[in-house]
A and B are shown apart, each in its own frame.
Chain A
Amino acid sequence: MNQRMNKIGIIIETENGSVKETNFGMITLANRGNAQLYALMGENAASAGASLAEYGITTVVDLGLPEEATVRLNPDVRAKAVVAAVNELGLDGVFGLSSAEGKDLIPRVAAYLDAPLVMDCLDVDPENKTGRTSQYSGKVVADIQLTGDIAVFGIRPNAVKAEAAQAEATMVSLAAGADTSSALSLVSWDESSADDSQVSLAEADIIVAGGRGMKNGDNFSLLFDCADKMKAAVGASRVAVDEGWVPYAHQVGQTGEKVSPSVYIACGISGSIQHFAGMKTAKMIIAVNTDENAAMVANSDYYVLGDLFEILPEIIKQI
């Protein structure tokens, strides 16, 4: 029979020295089984313990990565450090966020461990080692069951709400003898975006998105202003990206980012299958559209039939 997971290592993402909010929902998810929870930390292990214990982490593991940023941030080096921790601590489950970073890290870990993996899970049943994920451009939800000694799951940020579950956490350091060699060298990267106030799409709790209805790139400043006020991220349809109004990184959809925010506000987006593929799992959809027959309106929770150029400035004014 398929054995459940007993010791789950959770790869924690930090930002500016503290644990990103989106980790807590992932810990809550892992805590649904009866496994012991280990937080695997590439940095800030010492300071993060208290906040992690609040959600059920019992061991905080310092992966012992070197200070040097080009080494520490190299996803291949990080993956090897996670694999070393899995082996040393005898972990039989690994969770990580299916964020942009996670998509470059978790599959590396699974490949080195030669262990099965489900990415971008909306839900996980840790007792049955089954992950629920989207397939076929978001048209289907699949339950995928893993077998083998170690199971790996990538969790879509914001898929699960965090619930406090106070525990006591102890620290473990795995500094000694970490293998930091890699055939891949990280030579440069952008610092967490020039504009620090910008929220990442995958992790945002609110997304305000624009499509062809925005008419040009300058008008996107309306969305950026609105996002600024609500601490939201700005999304876009492929049309808006293809027209060059915003960079590709803002694209939501089958060939863009897949997101599960609490609220998705779609302005001047018709709601094509391919766009829905990326935001269908939003908890609430608010559509702003001039066309009452738009698919986005029919698949919303709330809709405004009106001109986004009249509504958005009012929202900005009122927040």
Chain B
Amino acid sequence: MQIYVCVKHVPDSAANIHILGKDQIDENVAFLLNPYDEHAVSEAASLKKANAGSEIIAVTVGKADADKTLRSAMAMGADRGLLVETDAACDSMTTARALVAAIKRDGTPDIILTGKESIDAEGMQTLFRVGAMMDMPVVTNAAGLTVDGANATVVCELSGGNTRTFETNLPCVIGAGRGLNTPAYPTFPDVVKARKKPVETISLDSLGIDAPKGSAKIVGLAPLVQNRTPKEITGTPAEQAAQIVNILKNEAKVIS
């Protein structure tokens, strides 16, 4: 199988984000492989194990520094990497076009794995755009994937513990959710080996993608501050409970 995995280089979720000007963040923070994409890479590694002779190609759209995320993906099992390099901030319509162009130029995917969401943009959509452009079915928030020949069975998670099960044919696009697997973190030798794996860098311009017919542009960024003034509820547990019930009834008006 030819397995493509879309991986994004994102700021660490624990990083403090500082806003520069009105539409940028200070990128001088730790970046890493998007956590959901880790699940995607991990699933690709299992698929490869079950299908001898498969190849895993990690693809990213980003700045030169995104090479680090490709290395992380390769340490987790990807065989090689494609870096579509651009300094521009791309929205998901452009990103999807770039991913599709790079993948098509490179080979013929049997499956494309992605994360269900990137933790920086929180867009939740790139995979659907890739699927629509490749004319492949898409399943998101996958918590279980079984591939049998050209058939795939995917369990995906909804809220409240509910799941849905889909059947589809390969090639397809699968968006990994947290329930899909438990990524095995790479060993030091894996990390060293990943440094030697090949990465092809392609400039975004050289892909010659058509301009999308719409765009999403950040016009303002602000820290999410919530000005709360904490007020203590005192007394015995019974008195405290009575005050909480009173607040729910009369201030928040959520119970009657």
Contacts and interface: CB of A to CB of B under 8 A. Distances in A.
Interface of A: 76, 99-101, 103-104, 107-108, 110-112, 114-120, 130, 133-151, 154, 182-190, 192-193, 198, 200-202, 205-206, 230-231, 247-250, 254-255, 257, 262-263, 265, 273-274, 277, 280-281, 283-287, 297-307, 310-311, 314-315, 317-319
Interface residues of B, number: 80
B240 to A, nearest CB: 5
Nearest to A191: B162
Given A140-B224, A305-B232, A306-B237, A104 B167 contact: no
Interface in B104-160: 119-125, 127-129, 131-132, 136-141, 153, 156-160
Contacts of B14: 273-274
B64 interface: no
A193 B166 contact: no
B231 interface: yes
Contact of A254 (B13, B129, B214, B221): B13
Contact of A149 (B127, B131, B158, B213): B213
Nearest to B132: A111
Interface stretch (B52-60, B72-80, B186-194, B245-253): B245-253
A280 B224 contact: yes
B137 to A, nearest CB: 4
A302 B125 contact: no
A114 B216 contact: no
Nearest to A137: B13
B217 A147 contact: yes
Chain B interface, DSSP helix/strand/loop, else mixed: mixed
A169 B168 CA distance: 39
Chain A interface, DSSP helix/strand/loop, else mixed: mixed
Given A104-B156, A137-B119, A141-B224, A206 B248 contact: yes
Contact of A190 (B132, B163, B244): B163
Given A100-B158, A146-B214, A315-B244, A188 B238 contact: no
A111 B25 contact: no
B178 to A, nearest CB: 6
A206 B254 contact: yes
B242 interface: yes
A192 B162 CA distance: 7
Interface in B7-51: 11, 13-14, 16-17, 19, 25, 35
Nearest to B249: A319
Given A148-B215, A286-B247, 15 more contacts: A107-B125, A107-B129, A108-B128, A110-B128, A111-B132, A114-B132, A116-B215, A120-B124, A130-B219, A139-B16, A183-B168, A183-B169, A280-B226, A307-B237, A319-B255
